[in-house]
Structure 1
Amino acid sequence: MIALSLAEIASVTGGQTHDIPDPSVRVTGQVVRDSREVEPGSLFVAFAGERVDGHDFAADVVAAGAAAVLASRPVGVPAIVVDDVQRALGALARHVVRRLGATLVALTGSAGKTSTKDLIAQVLRRKAPTVFTPGSLNNEIGLPLTALAATQETRFLVLEMGARGIGHIRHLTELTPPRIGLVLNVGTAHIGEFGGREQIARAKGELVESLPPAEEGGVAVLNADDPLVRAMAARTKARVILFGESGEADVRAENVRLTGSGQPAFSLHTPSGCSEVTMRLYGEHHVSNALAAAAVAHELGMSADEIATALSEAGTLSRWRMEVTERPDGVTIVNDAYNANPESMRAALRALVAMGRASQAQGGRTWAVLGPMAELGDEALAEHDAVGRLAVRLNVSKLVAVGGIEASWLQLGAYNEGSWGEESVHVSDAQSAVDLLRSQLRPGDVVLVKASRSVGLERVAQALAEGAEGEVAVR
């Protein structure tokens, strides 16, 4: 964070100083909510959760070097006491962002947010110091913590914004007002909470509504291939730039293809020129993510060659998103278990098939180890059934559905589509899936593991990647 005195932080947050002998002492370290991350000069934010109360660690964090605690009550050590810690954190982030000279880029979408955010960050940091959302910390706590990680040297601040209802993104843009806003897509993630894709589009479009007008530098980056996103051009006063495979896109891909190992390649066309891209990531769905990143980078002054080089060298920064492990015995494990929705499930299955194509000639097989997709509401049965059917249509060799009733819908969809016998199976838990796979995997097999975050199927991928003989660790 940029250095601020405790007195200034108290003024910004509307708090009162307690047990602070010298309010001119400055916070020179990071703002953190995890006591294990405290370093000299930090500000520790004490949240009172259902299981852990950060206030209980106040003495420990100050002993470890924290300058003070942002708290909702006096804690016996230097503290700024506020009525609402979360609201105070947001006010502090808003204050710091105004002080920075950085360009703030915000993005949202139903699928691919984190992968695209990671691509944008890897491209932009070649040009100038860049701070970006770690993992998927895209809510009203994670977003201000990310913004507060910026320093005077930061030139680009890339923030992922998530939403679980109308008004959520609007609130996030008030905390950290962006100049460039990117909307990737409108899908069915969280459709059970929103009530329909039109409602999801309404929520995602709050990002472009928040942008400054074109004459003040506002830019809305929209997906030309998604009609609901493209329609958001009417909801913003910012200048609009389109990305996609459409011929009308300002930043577009031509000659899209997959390498023998399932990595996308394409010709990148921008208003400043064209260049060839071959990505290190897996799956054709990353082409759209790459184009979105390229559109942002173009707006920030990078050439087509610079962007193409950066995209071709970019890797996976966030855990459990198409993480590929090649085992010594020739089995490939693809850990995509961080989260899942119908769109990302379909993309992952297509990526699995592309990755397994080369090994199938030598007898290798493709395995889809899939768990439930959460928050689909009334669409849950139909969507799980559809994913199971798609696995058959794509000629996935084996489907292992893991979990409760939603997983059984996956397996039943596959069975009904192809009248599969032993090609699809339903198992009750992660350990059963690991036991089954360990007994049947052979060299050349490619295994995809994917489910909603709440299912915890990353344990399956990790156990298989390690090749351990023990049991799956229980969270």
Structure 2
Amino acid sequence: MPVFWEMIAFFAYFFLGARSLSLLIKKKWKFPRFTGKQIILSFLVIFLTGFFFFLILSELLICAVLFDIFLLAFVSGVVFFVQLPTVAAKRYIINKAKKKRQAIRDLIVIGITGSCGKTSTKEILYHFLSQKYKVLKTEANNNTEIGVAGAVLKKLNKNHQVFVVEMGAYRKGEIKAICDIVKPKIGILTAINNQHLALFGSQENIIKAKFELIESLPKNGLAVLNWQNRLVKKGFKKKSGLRVVKIGKDIWAENINAKKESLSFKMVLGNGKSVNIKTKLAGRQNVENILLASAGALELGLGLREISKACLGIKDVGIKISKRDNFVVLDSSYSANQNGVMADLEYLNLYSGEKIIIMPSLIELGPISAEVHRKIGKKIGEICDLAIITTKDYFSEILKGAVGSGMEKENISYISDPGEIFKTINAIKKQKIILLEGRVPAKLKDYLLKKEYNN
């Protein structure tokens, strides 16, 4: 290689190395969470690529340049060959799960999907039905095709009478694939919004994907739809023989009273019957979740009084409240979407004291990202005294919205380091109400909830 090109290559790599070192020192590197599969893939790619070029070349610099040029091709090749046994294993697991499900003929399966509220609705419905039946539910956010198949194989047995299945999706066809495994008879559609818009490609695709659950129901099945959601109403198409319960029309709530640590309302049915509901759940958004779950419970024979009594015992659903000496933590860090953020901010507004929100920017919103973050910023500006955004993406849009609705610019910051966030909060001596929204750094939760921090 001519000396000139060697010098060019040397300085290019020197600059990239220096830049990487600078980011590392400034703690701006973002390290991925390595799974076992990722570690194996990374090792194979680096080893095989490097070994290949060292075999055929004697000049180190040429090898380095070619390594960069052909790295993508090698990564693709290694991933392809590693995926072959993975795909085969996945198909085996799914087919085995289908056979096991088919063998339990009397099992009633309830599928729950939606852009938000599906986990809370699942937990509430499980609590209701457990008063009368032997019930299995999918755990946490194990709502993918392989996750549901795993639950069928590991936990489902012939003693179970009801299986409550949360169904998630990142593209069309994934909810139908889950339905092909479990064969739901009842489908609950909680809501549709713009969550994962970048992955689906359009709002229309999101609507079609969520309605795969309803389309998979048998003719004698039941669809429970949140009729208060505009996109659910837009996407619904009548299906011959399918019964439909519409939340907001066939079952609705009156006299809603949302307090800091309780929620009460009157649940009314279309036939004129009603019952008073009281629960310790936090947040007005749980009214819809309870109504959706109640529709499923009524279908399986629970009475209104049984549901009302069961509501008193619901716990560990939605926002978790932790009290400390001079602050309260409202933990809603399970996930985040636009509807959830807005609802949690409304709940935060019930408290007195310094209201603080800590949250990352939302992801996978595609072309509407800027608009959504400005709206969230506007709501933050109306309610919060301090806002800390933990990721840089769209921080400027949140800032613009917050300042536009009256928040001082110095009261909203981008801080990614958990220690710095904790110091900023600790500097406020007044009583603080801290809302953790979305996937905030785990270390920050340790500092706030477990007091694992030394000044």
Q: TM-score if structure 1 supplies the norm length? A: 0.74
**Letter paired with 1:228:** L
Q: 1:325 aligns with which of 301, 316, 322?
A: 322
1:464 is matched with 448
* Matches of 1:461 and 1:147, distance apart in 2: 33
Secondary structure in structure 1 of the residue aligned to 2:145: coil
Pair 290,432 (structure 1): closer, same or farther in 2 beyond 3 Å: same
Structure 1 consecutive aligned stretches of length 4 or more whose deviation exceeds 4 Å: none
Instruction: Confirm whether residue 368 of structure 1 aligns to residue 371 of structure 2.
Output: no
Task: Output aligned runs, 1:20-419, within 5 Å.
Answer: 49-51=37-39, 84-100=88-104, 101-148=106-153, 149-214=155-220, 218-237=221-240, 239-244=242-247, 246=248, 249-259=249-259, 261=260, 263-270=262-269, 271=271, 273-316=273-316, 321-327=318-324, 329-354=325-350, 356=351, 360=352, 364-393=353-382, 395-419=383-407
Pair 176,49 (structure 1): closer, same or farther in 2 beyond 3 Å: farther
Secondary structure in structure 1 of the residue aligned to 2:37: coil
Secondary structure in structure 1 of the residue aligned to 2:133: coil
Any conservation in 1 of the 2:381–2:407 contact (CA below 8 Å)? no
Secondary structure in structure 2 of the residue aligned to 1:405: coil
2:54 is matched with none
1:7 is matched with none
* Matches of 1:243 and 1:266, distance apart in 2: 18
* Matches of 1:278 and 1:398, distance apart in 2: 32
* Matches of 1:143 and 1:272, distance apart in 2: 38
- Deviation string, structure 1 residues 378-437 (Cα, Å, up to 9, x no partner): 2112111210111122x2222222221323432332123215244322223333212211
Task: Output aligned runs, 1:445-464, within 5 Å.
Answer: 445-451=432-438, 453=439, 456-464=440-448
**Letter paired with 1:284:** R
Pair 197,123 (structure 1): closer, same or farther in 2 beyond 3 Å: same
- Deviation string, structure 1 residues 425-474 (Cα, Å, up to 9, x no partner): 2223333212211222533x2110113x4xx4343233212233249xxx
* Matches of 2:366 and 2:121, distance apart in 1: 27
2:13 is matched with none
Secondary structure in structure 2 of the residue aligned to 1:256: strand
* Matches of 1:50 and 1:423, distance apart in 2: 40
- Deviation string, structure 1 residues 4-23 (Cα, Å, up to 9, x no partner): xxxxxxxxxxxxxxxxxxxx
**Letter paired with 2:380:** A
| Aligned-pair CA distance for 1:231 | 4.3
Any conservation in 2 of the 1:165–1:193 contact (CA below 8 Å)? yes
**Letter paired with 2:344:** A
Q: 1:426 aligns with which of 406, 414, 439?
A: 414
| Aligned-pair CA distance for 1:294 | 0.4
* Matches of 1:376 and 1:277, distance apart in 2: 36
Secondary structure in structure 1 of the residue aligned to 2:357: strand
| Aligned-pair CA distance for 1:238 | 5.0
**Letter paired with 1:227:** R
* Matches of 1:283 and 1:437, distance apart in 2: 24
* Matches of 1:325 and 1:431, distance apart in 2: 20
* Matches of 1:387 and 1:262, distance apart in 2: 24
Any conservation in 2 of the 1:449–1:457 contact (CA below 8 Å)? no
- Deviation string, structure 1 residues 180-225 (Cα, Å, up to 9, x no partner): 01111110110111223222111101110000002xxx11111111
The runs of 5 or more residues in structure 1 that have no matched partner are: 1-46, 54-80
Any conservation in 1 of the 2:399–2:409 contact (CA below 8 Å)? no
Any conservation in 1 of the 2:124–2:314 contact (CA below 8 Å)? yes
| Aligned-pair CA distance for 1:278 | 1.7
Q: Which is greater in Rg?
A: 2
Any conservation in 1 of the 2:193–2:231 contact (CA below 8 Å)? no
The runs of 5 or more residues in structure 2 that have no matched partner are: 1-34, 42-84
Pair 201,141 (structure 1): closer, same or farther in 2 beyond 3 Å: same
Pair 193,82 (structure 1): closer, same or farther in 2 beyond 3 Å: closer
| Aligned-pair CA distance for 1:52 | 6.3
Identity %: 25
Q: TM-score if structure 2 supplies the norm length? A: 0.77
* Matches of 1:418 and 1:174, distance apart in 2: 51
* Matches of 1:272 and 1:134, distance apart in 2: 36
Q: Which structure features the higher share of helix residues? A: 2
* Matches of 1:257 and 1:164, distance apart in 2: 35
Q: Please give the root-mean-square deviation of Cα atoms over the aligned residues, in Å.
A: 2.3
